[in-house]
Chains A and B, each alone.
Chain A
Amino acid sequence: MAAQPVLEARGISKHYGGIVALDDVDLTLEEGEVLAVVGDNGAGKSTLIKALTGAISRTSGTIRFDGEEAHIETPTDAKAAGIETVYQDLALVNEIPITQNVFLGREIVRDDWLGRIFGVLDFKRMDREIRELFTKLDIRITDIYRDAQAFSGGQRQAVALSKTVMFGKRVAILDEPTAALGVRESQMAMDLVRSLKDHGLSVIMITHNMQHVLNYCDRVMVLRLGRLTAVRKVSEVDGDTLVGLITGTLQGDAKDG
């Protein structure tokens, strides 16, 4: 049997007043796998990953990381643990350059008194690391000083995904990485997702695209109305079954397994 899971969440719930957005959901992420999270609109997918990464506070639930209890209360806690998240529509700031977007929140300061006292940045080093990163991931963006706004949806998504390789030591969490992308751009983004595995990352990915689940993922968990209804190996399901589970025409079975 494989080693212990990278990430293990138990009994995650999120209530907004009387509304239960997420009800006692379990999630297990094995080392090196791509885990799909599917469900209809309002099923609680985004709420689940936001609760996992500290972007919103959990009503209840515990998270274990590499077998140890992890205290993830803020996005910074998650990043410190090695979990890097690409939020849908909240990945890049339009008004600032690609360079600054990649290092946002983790800018490198100069290794001298200017850096230590005034926080003067080491632009040379950051630029070099970005160019190396883009070369490694085969991202063809040369004008890294232009504002993010100037780039296509596919290029922007590539930049956002590249951050998970730059900073995510263990886990990448992706909220609909192909939403709003064209067919060819989706293909490129998904190839990039697959390559995250080669860079030592385990991936949790929200998606609405059943083809992507079947082609790129190892396991899939189905959420419905805030509850976990099924977890399947991708090799053991087909598209129709998944759609049935999502819409509720097929009854789900168990807790996380």
Chain B
Amino acid sequence: MADAQNSSTAVSNPGATSRTFERLTHEFMQIWQVVAALALIYLVFFVLSPPFRSFDTLLSIFGQASILAVLACGTTVVLISGGLDLSVGSIFAVVGVSVGILLAEVELPVWLAVLGGLGIGAGLGALNGIVQVATGVPAFIVTLGGLTAYKGLAEILASGRDLSRFPDAFQVLGSGYVVPMAIMFAAAILTGLFLTKTRLGIRAFAIGGNQEVARLAGVPVKRSRVYYYMLGGMLAALAAIMEVAKLNFAMPARGQSYELFAIAAVVIGGTSLFGGRGGVGKTLIGMLIMQTITVGLSYMGVGTSYQRIAIGIIIIAAVYWDVWRRSTR
């Protein structure tokens, strides 16, 4: 009976099955090269470095990736919509310190402190968006201002305070591999569903592709942009909460340059810096590529300074590859 019903809907509605199929093949064509690159990089280190071969190494790659990957999910949405947020590393710092205060001084229950932190992140992200759409000042400048202003705010909030020794229930959010990885996958899946299944989400691609066409088609471009920045701020806040929980202390220096690592992962994964194209799955793979290289080079005794040079070259190569692929299509 149930089978009969299913097959009859499938026949009367061929569009539905072909949509799924088309989407999957389309996604695969876009993503297989990046996956292959990740596999290749992993294989190279696997061959070159015996200690790299353990399962623990694999876990630590995921573990190190998880916090930045959560942040990068937000960066993905903002970049797809044709925006840019350089201030998420500083939002990260403000939220880390704020959650520390809420837990250590105000002694709020853990869930309330977490909600408060997410709210602060969303608010600061939204502020970036509101200032942009209200003044017309470019994203680069507004969020560069946010980068230093929010950093200052974090320092003011943290000065003279000892923010450490948080409740066990809070530390769980960042300790070990299982919970951070679960949070990472949950954040990625929810962000992915937002981008592909909801009205506000799919409009990010249209706005990033051509905001004037979107505006003329009746899309509320300015309001939508504010929401994307808000989501970016909220995911930065979630990442900050994970890190404060992991370290068991909060300080305003955390989060520095995280916005750049996030942008790097997004771009390596294949999301366009110029808007309109991309996805969260790509960003996860991009983040794993970055972490695999970092961890692999460490195992081979290459210092962090050289690792940074390597990552820098890879970012440029990733964008060059994207540009080359477009020009030959």
Contact = CB atoms under 8 A, between A and B. Distances in A.
Interface string A110-146: 0000000011110110011001000000000001011
B5 interface: no
A75 B215 contact: yes
A70 interface: no
A57 interface: no
A209 B206 CA distance: 32
Interface stretch (A32-40, A85-93, A181-189): A85-93
Nearest to A126: B15
B208 interface: yes
Interface stretch (A9-17, A98-106, A213-221, A223-231): A98-106
A90 B15 contact: no
B13 interface: yes
Contact of A100 (B15, B197, B206): B206
Main DSSP-derived SS at the B contact region: helix
A123 B276 CA distance: 20
Contact of A105 (B22, B219, B275, B276): B219
A124 B210 contact: no
Given A107-B202, A119-B198, A123-B19, A95 B208 contact: yes
Interface residues of B, number: 30
Interface string B192-228: 0000011110110110111011111111000000000
A79 interface: yes
Given A93-B209, A96-B209, A145 B200 contact: no
A215 B37 CA distance: 58
A124 B185 CA distance: 27
B60 to A, nearest CB: 35
Given A96-B205, A124-B13, A119 B200 contact: yes
19 contacts: A75-B215, A76-B218, A85-B216, A90-B210, A93-B205, A95-B206, A95-B276, A95-B277, A96-B202, A96-B205, A100-B205, A100-B206, A104-B218, A106-B218, A107-B202, A119-B198, A124-B13, A124-B15, A128-B13
A94 B198 contact: no
